[in-house]
Structure 1
Amino acid sequence: MTDNPLKRLQRLWLCETLRLREEHAGPLEDGEANRLARQTGNDLASRIETRALFLAKRDGQLQAQQHWLQGARLALGLLLVLAVLSGAGLALAALGDGSRPVNVFWALGSLLGLHLLLLLGWALGLLLAGDHSAGLGRLWLWLSEKLARDASAAQLGPALVLLLQRRRLNRWLLGLLVHGLWLVALLSAGLMLLILLSTRRYGFVWETTLLGSDTFVALTQLLGSLPALLGLPIPDAETIRASGDSALTSEAARHAWAGWLFGVLLVFGILPRAVLLLLCLWRWRHGSARLALDLNLPGYRLLGERLQPTSERLGVLDAAPAQLTEAQGGSTRLDSSGAVLVAIELDPQRTWPPSLPKSVADAGVLDSREQRQQLLDQLGRFPPARLAIALDPRRSPDRGTLALLGELARTAAATRIWLLQPPPGEALDSQRLGDWHSALQRLHLPFADSAPLAWLESGHD
């Protein structure tokens, strides 16, 4: 398979979702899915993915996954807007409206205090708790599930968490989210800081009762040493000491304090988050490229017995599913040729088959599960261009027969249903015939009570 890693992750995600669903609700009706998976001839993991994709399309998990992803993108957008507004609010809270001098260390605490505390908590959680789940990550997952608004999405969130835990990718995915949102917030704070410093006149002071001026001089220069390497200005010792009494009115002092405040925000806020974001992105890509199904899980071991059987089994394989699945018709897009006539559960006293042209193959009468499976396997390998299916409308259109019609139709390029006339002297039940008409219409299969032999031979009537 040549799909990109994201699509591959989505396939593995669907496999885990269906595994959880079957663990909680029992085995699904998967006869056709297993047959299609076995026809691929690939390894067990690829067959499980093929089966999962078929069942997910049929039962709605694929659409639910798309809804979940849409909800995740919408939740991420809301969090990004919140991050931008929060960052701008941090800058406004740090500088104020310019009517009072700015206490530089209070401003610095407003800009970086929460960021540094949460960054320390993330690092400790990564080291001590392993798959640490940050609050923002849990909020994003919760919002994604709520915004999906799809009942079939109930297993998607837990399945994604379990899948990523295999290679401990949760920490890196949530790290991408957390550091990305904090980077946006700090960039927003930095931009708002520049706008405020460019449009208002601020004076800067520091205040203390217990500490001396030398302590503030040393601390200010220590924090400003790294920004100074990037060419950003820092106040000299005289300026720092003088700012302890009152806000200096000189432009040089204002510029030095403004440059120092922005530089500390850049070096201790924006750059660490950017570096950690790139680290999480690298680890995520590296780990997701190696992500695979754990075939030792009981659910996958059971599938291995069905998708790579050592011998064919007869009889009932699975119990009835908790929820019945509506049969579906369709057609194949594979290269097809020839014409086939097959009948389903006819009265043994009926003369069969009719006289057929040489170009039309007779597939006989399907009475047993083994015959049905054998024909489906054969048609899967050699799809016919035209397939006619003869039915006795005196029988009820039960779920198994309708499902078989859908499977047969999906192996051929075109399919027609032949509703056989009853023997002479016997009348059809109009109610039962109407049930057949309604069921075949739901399957989108054309039907008639006359033999479609001319259509089988030439492709037209």
Structure 2
Amino acid sequence: MSDANPHTSPLSRLDQLWLTEAIRLREEHAGPLDDAEANRRANAAGGDLAQRIQARALWLAERDGQTQALQHWRQGAQLAGLLLMVLALVSGVGLALAALGDGQRPVNLFWALGSLLGLHLLTLLGWLLSFGLGSNASVLGRFWLWASGKLARDAQAAHLAPALLLLLQRQGLTRWGLGALVHGAWLLSLGSALLVLLLLLATRRYGFVWETTILGGDTFVFLAQALGALPSLFGFNLPDAETIRASSNVLDQEAARQAWSGWLLGVTFTYGLLPRLLLGLFCLWRWLRGRARLDLDLGLPGYGLLRERLQPASERLGVSDAAPAELPEPQAGSLDGASQGALLVAIELDDRRPWPPALPKGVGDAGVLDSREQRQRLLDQLSRFPPERLAVACDPRRSPDRGTLALIGELARSASATRVWLLPAPSGEALDSQRLEDWHQALQRLDLPLAQGAPLTWLETGHD
């Protein structure tokens, strides 16, 4: 396991803040995590309180699987986004086909316009009204968030979506991020609708008609020209008043068909595609601008509790946190950074056993670890001055309990190379074969090698 340091992590700054918030929510709902090593590494990395909180959270996220769950969530989000794009493209094609029909009947102009722009205008109005109602997510945005979580298929991703929303809401970014997504989906839908409209109008012969019972012809002329005034500025055709009045019946004139085709395309472009394009770009600009200002809210109670553990001036050793519901499986590893020297340390040895043995020159003695304070003191020292080679001596007459294995794993992660020395039984005593086998299996799970005999030669020279 590598160090989760915000200065060296390949995660983006948004990902780091996101995981930090997810860890806070997890501890808020499930209780404090086993974070002694994470706190130690965060303090060793230095920086201000926010940097230490991030370093601690990223190490815990790496250990407990949240980092991998974040990658799974991102993959699910990408898949959900692709599904949304396909849905938008297909719906755009359906809108165009519904608007023009099969060409066997004349196209009712306002029915066609309602088919193309009706739902778009309603959703756009709802998005604009959300500014006054305090809502941040549209139906499409909620669908994308829901689908992202479902497609992630990772139990560790449960807190990721709520953490992201809470993080973004502090800068008001939820509206702009989801807005860019939703306007982008509508842009695809209306863009595909326009392309299909253009293709159909170019390859089929359509007649256009308007029909009304209670409105007069002058009203329809006014509506058609009012809607077509702005598109005409972009070069789209605008039927004249005479053509509009005559279109109460189907006109078999090429000029009328071309005028109404241009009018329909222009109105769809100007009041459909263009607003979504401009709003999508605006939301994207607000999103990028606000994302650069994202930071942790250190005033939250969850972060305030960490100040006592992560600020050196108030650091306290020997205080036991509440036990978590599930303890993580101990893991070992090796240090990737700079290290030097060799060190021998023992864990909970019998007082009657003579210790330490005669050590070669250049090999340090870290003593026997019997108490929590001794363990923390040594781990703090190793975080600042990691050894190149570390031998951990254990008494195989004791059972390899979880606490001992977790300590061995922490020690191993503080050195470039580690070996475990299972000491021989004192003269006149025999080792329990079953207990010795338990040690071998436990060390195999930790992926740590056993020292062959006394590891003093290896500590001194680096080879046997």
Tell me the residue number matched to 2:216. Answer: 212
- SS of the residue 1:447 aligns to: coil
What one-letter code is carried by the residue in structure 2 that aligns with 1:23? Answer: E
The answer on whether the counterparts of 1:5 and 1:288 sit within 8 Å (CA) in structure 2 is no
- CA shift, 1:158, in A, is 1.4
- CA shift, 1:131, in A, is 3.6
Deviation track 1:75-113 (CA, whole Å, cap 9, x = no partner) reads: 111111111111110000000011111111111111001
Identity score, percent: 70
Deviation track 1:330-381 (CA, whole Å, cap 9, x = no partner) reads: 0011011111111111111211111111111111111111211121121111
Pair 198,2 (structure 1): closer, same or farther in 2 beyond 3 Å: farther
Q: Give runs of aligned pairs for residues 79-228 of structure 1, distance below 5 A.
A: 79-126=84-131, 128-228=132-232
- SS of the residue 1:294 aligns to: coil
Q: Hey, what's the Cα distance between the residues in 1 that align with 2:206 and 2:452?
A: 91
- CA shift, 1:312, in A, is 3.8
1:391 aligns with 2:412: no
Tell me the residue number matched to 2:346. Answer: 343
What one-letter code is carried by the residue in structure 2 that aligns with 1:207? Answer: E
1:330 aligns with 2:333: yes
TM-score by length of 1: 0.97
What one-letter code is carried by the residue in structure 2 that aligns with 1:22? Answer: E
Deviation track 1:288-323 (CA, whole Å, cap 9, x = no partner) reads: 111111111111001111011424423233011110
Pair 264,27 (structure 1): closer, same or farther in 2 beyond 3 Å: same
Over the aligned positions, Cα root-mean-square deviation in angstroms equals 1.5
Q: Hey, what's the Cα distance between the residues in 2 that align with 1:280 and 1:4?
A: 29
274, 279, 282: which one aligns with 2:277: 274
Tell me the residue number matched to 1:28. Answer: 33
TM-score by length of 2: 0.96
What one-letter code is carried by the residue in structure 2 that aligns with 1:285? Answer: L
Q: Hey, what's the Cα distance between the residues in 1 that align with 2:150 and 2:170?
A: 25
- SS of the residue 1:174 aligns to: helix
Tell me the residue number matched to 1:298. Answer: 301
The answer on whether the counterparts of 1:131 and 1:168 sit within 8 Å (CA) in structure 2 is no
Q: Hey, what's the Cα distance between the residues in 2 that align with 1:304 and 1:88?
A: 57
Number of aligned residue pairs: 459
Pair 80,3 (structure 1): closer, same or farther in 2 beyond 3 Å: farther
Q: Give runs of aligned pairs for residues 276-425 of structure 1, distance below 5 A.
A: 276-425=279-428
Q: Hey, what's the Cα distance between the residues in 2 that align with 1:199 and 1:4?
A: 56
Tell me the residue number matched to 2:245. Answer: 241
Q: Give runs of aligned pairs for residues 253-268 of structure 1, distance below 5 A.
A: 253-268=256-271
Tell me the residue number matched to 1:429. Answer: 432
Tell me the residue number matched to 2:80. Answer: 75
46, 50, 53: which one aligns with 1:45: 50
The answer on whether the counterparts of 1:131 and 1:170 sit within 8 Å (CA) in structure 2 is no
- SS of the residue 1:418 aligns to: strand
Q: Hey, what's the Cα distance between the residues in 2 that align with 1:211 and 1:131?
A: 38
Q: Hey, what's the Cα distance between the residues in 1 that align with 2:89 and 2:408?
A: 56
- CA shift, 1:137, in A, is 1.1
- SS of the residue 1:448 aligns to: coil
Pair 287,3 (structure 1): closer, same or farther in 2 beyond 3 Å: farther
Tell me the residue number matched to 2:3. Answer: none
What one-letter code is carried by the residue in structure 1 that aligns with 2:138? Answer: A
Pair 191,275 (structure 1): closer, same or farther in 2 beyond 3 Å: same
Q: Where in structure 2 are there 5+ consecutive unaligned residues?
A: 1-5
